[in-house]
Structure 1
């Protein structure tokens, strides 16, 4: 075991001493905890001597959460990206369409079909290498797209606190036809491109147009249309290098032309659209077989940094978090001669992330019970009923830092409800209110389920750069 002593500065007042303890957790392994020995500094008063106070150990590991609810997030994610440390993530998006503006009576008898195209609008989000050509195929879904309900007979602590209603989860797959309805290869100029147009093949285009012109029962309402046309799957090519975000306002446009009363050629347009965003979701697949994280699965969710060369990471949509535990901190908290005044957890991010993989601007800490289920989040000390958010702070060429105030957590770990809990460093799983602009509430979106954002923690050798600072009073 490696022990590092941290000297404290003595300031006496009414027989009390205050200490600022930087508890470096730069590595704390499940198999071999690195304990930190706390002691008093005798540099000013040799009659005091060095008095051992306690030891605190920290365990850091990477943890795979259960599949996330990725429906109704407001973002369509399609694509694939890879890196040597954490492996590959692939997102396929499914959606259900309704009849939108389809109206048979508005189409003249002499109208002829021009084209049927699916229109997607990028929302300027991406993760990965966008310098290469990307390809997306549109397939017709053959299964009913359905929600997974919450089991009301199970206690709320048996499911994550961010699962609040029936949803579609990230591991859910629905069958679709092998032959695509449309394909498109494009250069992902995500900051500039207005829309992408996927032109459907003539077979399905003519079929849809005939149904509209005939006033077929299958296009009279959403229910009948969805029995006939169950939905779409947007599937990325295996050679793609980026995951791209699109707005969830999707249109399947039917373009046609006809002669008006003056004998001039006129063009018309109607469209199908998503009828319920609850039935749009992103299905996530990962491949970590060529990485140190290959053994991390749903059945074996935790892998400690000792087995990953000190690397630990968190990742949106795939549901990976960094797990942080303080196995011996309770003994310090329970010491009747100590009053803890301030606790800060500081986590460092490398100052040179890969191009296309921007570091998350905001992180949160979720509280997990002894079963590993996230049951709450570290609360904000400024905003009622909100999660505490640590913002990425960068100064010059130094590593970026996320800082959390843990005083509330330390005050609670003595209670039965917090027994054997741990912390998950994560992207926000729910919207986080941050204020108002022009009378409108502004919130950080639920990035855990709506992005592929990733953070690989900074490390020193094989040790993650995580530091716990404690300011406390010692009564003599």
Structure 2
């Protein structure tokens, strides 16, 4: 009870004394005969570094990511989609006549980088069964495909419009499929997949354009007509839907000439001191900011017994590293990792509610958005000697289904934008 009341008094006084670095609370004699001091500490070192996960699980995506763009910091980023198709119709009228076939991609409004240049998509037939022995797919998973495309489409990207992108597939592919259905060579889902393993959709990666998002309710549509001799020919269609369970985005990057070109595995750390005092995040590729607080034990040097009652980590976006096309989000995910970069859990308040970073304020003078994270639960964990080798990993939302990227100032940046930890420490001896 004494500890709870003490915390209430400290919190009350903190709200009235935010600018003081140290102050004394005289607690009434009826409660306890002691003097409590509260320290505001923002000088503990925060070490920022960058690493890259060996791979990301990208099974059952909520969007198809297709495109390529160049970035001065991250190199070339490429994303293509392996898609398995499914259908439930295996018969066509005897007097039906083939018309055409098209892949219909429905945009989900996601884009990253410049949408002004002409985009080019290519579609290929996958030659291998799209399946995984492990039950999931990674961003590095690959399957063989016929390198001669069955469709090529040049277009202007309009991601903020709801219009679908229709990519005409060549008639050799379409007519062959039509005849197999009409002649009952395909009579079930398994027979269909024996003949048509899937599609690969990719962008022309020789130009700097954008990465576009499309919903997984996109489909392949076969058009044909039926003439009953009494009326005009009736137009009909068969849709081959995407099977999300065996669909994934293969996301990769060409890192030559970047800070990340010498990464061997996810245990390779790049200190911010070696990257122009910066740390990085890139979704889809698996690049993550790691944070360490190595000298937390120095709090034990304070002579009186005490406790950390508040801990806020603050960091800012590097000036001129983001734009309307290379945009950032207002919140980031926070995880606890070990010294081998294995993710142990979300950082949470109560074991259930994840802690997210939030934009606290903007500094127009320095064009830097400031993020704040309440890391009090992590500080409490780190003070346990068995958890000294725990670290924080920060990465963006939709980390497996986007290519969002961030560049942050490190702890040695100028004071007004530097990464720092603000602790409130109360002694009660």
Q: Shorter-normalised TM-score: what interval?
A: 0.7 to 0.9
- Pair 1:72 & 2:72 matched: no
> Is the CA contact (8 Å cut-off) linking 1:129 and 1:355 kept in structure 2?
no
Q: Which residue of 2 aligns with 1:246?
A: 214
> Is the CA contact (8 Å cut-off) linking 2:107 and 2:162 kept in structure 1?
yes
- Pair 1:313 & 2:300 matched: no
TM-score (norm 2): 0.86
Residues 93 and 288 (structure 1), Cα distance of their counterparts in 2 relative to 1, 3 Å cut = same
Shift of 1:417: 5.3
Shift of 1:148: 4.6
Q: Which residue of 1 aligns with 2:12?
A: none
Q: Which residue of 1 aligns with 2:106?
A: 121
Q: Which residue of 2 aligns with 1:102?
A: 89
Shift of 1:297: 3.7
Shift of 1:279: 0.8
- Pair 1:465 & 2:400 matched: no
User: Which of 140, 160, 172 is residue 191 of structure 1 equivalent to?
Assistant: 160
State the aligned residue count.
397
> Is the CA contact (8 Å cut-off) linking 2:124 and 2:148 kept in structure 1?
yes
Q: Which residue of 2 aligns with 1:86?
A: 74
Q: Which residue of 1 aligns with 2:191?
A: 224
Residues 95 and 330 (structure 1), Cα distance of their counterparts in 2 relative to 1, 3 Å cut = farther
User: Which of 428, 453, 463 is residue 404 of structure 2 equivalent to?
Assistant: 453
Indicate the SS of the match to 1:90: strand
User: Which of 205, 217, 220 is residue 174 of structure 2 equivalent to?
Assistant: 205
User: Which of 335, 359, 362 is residue 331 of structure 2 equivalent to?
Assistant: 362
Shift of 1:393: 3.9
Q: Distance in 1 between matches of 2:386 and 2:121?
A: 47
Q: Distance in 2 between matches of 1:298 and 1:91?
A: 21
Structure 1, unaligned stretches of length 5 or more? Answer: 1-5, 24-55, 150-165, 429-446
1:16-415 → structure 2 map (5 Å cutoff) = 16-23=36-43, 56-98=44-86, 100-104=87-91, 107-149=92-134, 166-216=135-185, 219-238=186-205, 239-260=207-228, 262-275=230-243, 277-298=244-265, 301-332=268-299, 337-350=305-318, 352=320, 353-380=322-349, 385-395=352-362, 397=364, 399-415=368-384
Give per-residue Cα distances to partners, 1:281-306, cap 9 Å, x unaligned. Answer: 11111112122332224266321112
- Between stretches 117-126 and 409-418, larger displacement belongs to 409-418
Q: Distance in 1 between matches of 2:22 and 2:385?
A: 34
Q: Distance in 2 between matches of 1:229 and 1:372?
A: 39
Q: Distance in 2 between matches of 1:101 and 1:351?
A: 53
Indicate the SS of the match to 1:11: strand
RMSD of the TM alignment (CA)? 2.3
Structure 2, unaligned stretches of length 5 or more? Answer: 1-18, 27-33
Residues 334 and 243 (structure 1), Cα distance of their counterparts in 2 relative to 1, 3 Å cut = farther
TM-score (norm 1): 0.78
Shift of 1:423: 0.7
